[in-house]
Amino acid sequence: MKYLRQDERQTWLLDDYLAHVASISEGWPDDLKDLASLRRLHLSERGSLHDSWLQSSRIDLGDLRQDHAETSIEIVLLGPYHDRHFRLRYLGVAEYRLDSQEPRDDLLVHEIHREGDLWVHEMLFASGSTVHIRCRSMEFRESM
């Protein structure tokens, strides 16, 4: 994580991340502003991604016969109250790491930031599992 940090009591410190998002999110698509917002990190919000479970992930490597096949990834999370799904879609994936150690693993925190022209989305789960994706564009949807 680039902006999210823990203090000596292992409490996640959100201020630097939220300040960073506020300073650069002008012009971001509305769905990504929403995904990066406090309500998606806050423990007591029903729409928070905190404590969500990774339900599925799908990697599409595109047409491998082409020189410039475009990789896309779709991740579906089951919400913390099991009453909704969060669907994340990553297009033009330049790099990805999906390190899943166990099913029904609670998502602790996630962070979005930019590196040049690429979006970066990182997730950290309670078991230590991680997701790290760098991509050209991404989409976020919530469904009940």
Q: Is the separation of the CB atoms in 18 and 33 below 8 Å?
A: no
Question: CA separation (Å) from 26 to 22, 32, 33?
Answer: 8, 11, 9
Question: CA separation (Å) from 135 to 58, 87, 91, 118, 129?
Answer: 15, 16, 6, 5, 20
| pTM (2 d.p.) | 0.92
Range of the domain at 133: 5-61+70-143
The whole-number pLDDT of residue 104 equals: 79
Number of domains in the chain: 1
- Is the per-residue pLDDT at 69 higher than 90? no
How many CB atoms lie under 10 A from the CB of residue 38?
12
Instruction: Specify the DSSP element, H or E, that contains 107.
Output: strand 107-115
